A and B are shown apart, each in its own frame.
Chain A
Amino acid sequence: MAEITLEDIIKPENLVYEKTRLMTDKELSYCPGCGHGTAHRITMEVIDELGLEENTIGVAPVGCSVLAYEFMNIDMTQAAHGRAPAVATGIKRVWPDKIVFTYQGDGDLAAIGTGETIHACNRGEKIVIIFINNGIYGMTGGQMAPTTLPGMKSSTSPYGRDVETMGNPLKITELVAQLPGTYFVTRQAVHTPAAVRKAKKAIRKAFENQRDNKPGVSFVEIVSNCNSGWKMTPIDANNWMVDNMFPFYPMGDIKVDGVMVK
């Protein structure tokens, strides 16, 4: 039997996975097991597949994904903490034919930037908001976030979130779905191949909405993990997320084509 060489294997017909074209070669700064990398990848795949590379301007937040512009190989603007929806509004209003999206975490979008989020959604800005909710401030070292679950431990709620004194977690996605300015609101995850496929489909729909000039914000929440901040192994973190985060933040579409479905 003839020996099989690498050349025999590396052939287009054997290709099962390739590097996302619109991701840079820069090594991801995210912890192994974190969902950000996957969320980045499917976002850039969608932009590539829809042929929107030349027309898209992304807005990066402050938080773990502050360096999103290092990885996403398109024109990007880095915004001050929480201000991404205002920055995106500014760009979209003066370049109405461009595709503009923000990529934000929970602290950025649902705490310090709540005003910008609510008002961009309420004005019905024709932008995409991708919201990564892992219930914690990852970048600064695991502090309590607006979406931290009741009883959940963080470095600023070391005995667990006490809702009496620290307030309740904010379901901002359900909140923005109530606003007439949102057109598509959905909650997804990226912890299994099936979930990734569904999340990518949702992101594709969000970008298609903007491409087709649909009225209002397309808002995609991705419930994700933070194994470092939660102090768990990646697998444990995903299991904990399924058992604890998903019941509180249920998966699925909330508003589709401007109509509430949940």
Chain B
Amino acid sequence: MTEEIIIAGFGGQGVLSMGKILAYSGIMHDQEVSWMPSYGPEMRGGTANVTVILSDERISSPVLTVFDTAIILNQQSMDKFEKSVRPGGILIYDPNGITHHPSRKDINIYQIEGAQVAAEMGNTKIFNMVILGAYMKLKPIVQLEYVIKGLKKSLPERYHKLIPLNEDAINMGMKHIKPYYLMN
């Protein structure tokens, strides 16, 4: 079992750290993982994306152009990565700020109002955890138990008090994800 994911959005949306949590949860689950970011000037306010691979086997290429799942958080990333989803794969996006919605008919497309949910929860910083929750609802390859373990492992001790809030955000994401286009 191998899951190849791209997460793409603006710098500052927590794209890279969301990927890191996914990778950590994979390790907690005894999986092989890789996390390959875009790096450089792009990181400073421009677009940011990260490729995460979770697998039961040794991972070959950490650099991919075709993905099982794309999580897309801004228009530039939609323009770039909609076409990169494997036929039959999944695209999850936050419609906030999206003017050209995805149009492919050979993949399953879901929306998650991540920015809105996070704002309603009163903490925009948990945006990426809402998105992560939405993803986890669709892909049980990543289980909540391991995400929490991964959070504990990746966060410094002083932030552990924030783990319940993150867990709530994940649950909200799971609750609010809705299909936008489903293949037959």
Asked if chains A and B are in direct contact (CB within 8 A), the reply is: no
Task: List the interface of chain A (C-beta within 8 A of B).
Answer: none
Task: List the interface of chain B (C-beta within 8 A of A).
Answer: none
